[in-house]
Amino acid sequence: MMGKFYTKKDYQTIANIYNLGRIAKLDYLHKGYQSPKVVVETSLGKFVISKNTLSEKKDIISKSKKSLQYEIDMLSTLRGLPVPSFLKSVKGKFIEKFKHDWVTVYRFFPGESPKNITPAMAYSLGVFLGEFHKQGQKFKKIESSRRRFYYLSPAIIRNMEVVANKQKNSLLKSVILDIKRGVENNRPRPDLPVGPIHVDIKAQNEIFQGNKLSAIIDFGNFYVGPFMIDVGKTIMWNFCLRNKLDKTALREFIRGYNSKRKLSKNENAYLEKSILYAIYSHIWVDLYHTPLKYVPESYTIYLVKHFLPIAKQIEKLLYGGA
């Protein structure tokens, strides 16, 4: 659930902290954000101000200041990519305490989230992801407090299963064993290349101007893991539409990716399974989240109804219906 926005007077105070100048216009970003974000326009340009609730709690929702700084550190190593570039305050800090929370600022990206992905847009997503992974290979720092959403070891799956089995909805109850099997059968191989991964490249986090990608935003779930998790998740969210896989868009995406970073032999062999793992792991994580009331039950039902049929289609092609 989204937190509360600050007052307009508060945002001007924050603008002063980051030396942005007087705010001429302020717009609230309501959709798709857990952290309240606004766009402010000053004589220096447009900026996004984020309100961040940080905590040292060890639960699934909380993020620490150290974890947020880790995200900023990773993004600061990227060159020439359309990603948030965080600004320092007048005190030289990226993250500033404000009232009971913390704030960050980055420059606004023009454009809008796509309603449909064309082959040209798919290619540009592939180009971005390939270059992101290529550059990311240099980022070696590991932050132990960072939650790795789709790192699902046998021990983690067993612990999550206890909670997942507390579903009240009959449909969600009926798919638990099937989703668990899908996760276990398609888990990434240990020899796949690793580096920073976004894991949430979907329409809400994509900004396009026509067919041109303006930016990828919201790296809040990033961690260091197998690049193929990112590949699979991007395919899932962008090319698994209307209960089928868009193979034309997929081909363009892979072509764009390979233009910047060629998939290895092992990665190519794992490609179909990466899509299956993306689907099964996402449903599994939210089967765990639903009883905890971290996501609405209706959202997890949507995931099952929309993506599970696509997983079955891919499995039929791979295994002949097994």
Rounded to the nearest 5°, which phi and psi values hold at 210?
65, -130
Strand partners, 275: none
Q: In Å, how far are 64, 230, 287, 288, 321 from 60, measured between CA atoms? A: 11, 20, 14, 11, 36
> What pLDDT is attached to residue 322?
45
pLDDT (tens digit per residue) in 139-176: 989 888 888 989 999 999 999 999 999 999 999 999 99
Structure confidence at residue 1 (pLDDT): 46
CA distance readout (Å), 279 to 67, 86, 125, 255: 26, 32, 19, 22
Q: Where in the chain does DSSP place strands (E)? A: 25-29, 37-42, 45-52, 96-98, 101-107, 194-197, 206-209, 212-216, 223-226, 240-241, 244-245
**Residue 29: pLDDT band with limits 50, 70, 90:** confident
Q: In the structure, how many helices (H) and strands (E) does the chain have?
A: 9, 11
pLDDT at 32: 47
pLDDT score of 319: 82
Average pLDDT score over the chain: 94
Average pLDDT for 86-105: 97
In this predicted structure, the answer to whether residue 74 has a pLDDT above a threshold of 50 is: yes
Residue 2 is predicted with a pLDDT of: 52
Q: Is the pLDDT of residue 33 over 60?
A: no
- What's the pLDDT tens digit per position in 198-226? 999 999 999 999 999 999 999 999 999 99
User: Is the pLDDT confidence value at 60 over 70?
Assistant: no
CA distances from 312 to 221, 272, 292 (A): 27, 12, 28
Percent of the chain with pLDDT over 70: 96
Taking 80 as the threshold, does the pLDDT of residue 277 lie above it? yes
Would you say residue 91 has pLDDT above 90?
yes
* pLDDT value for 243: 85
Q: Which domains, from first to last, does the chain contain?
A: 8-107 (3.30.200.20), 119-319 (3.90.1200.10)
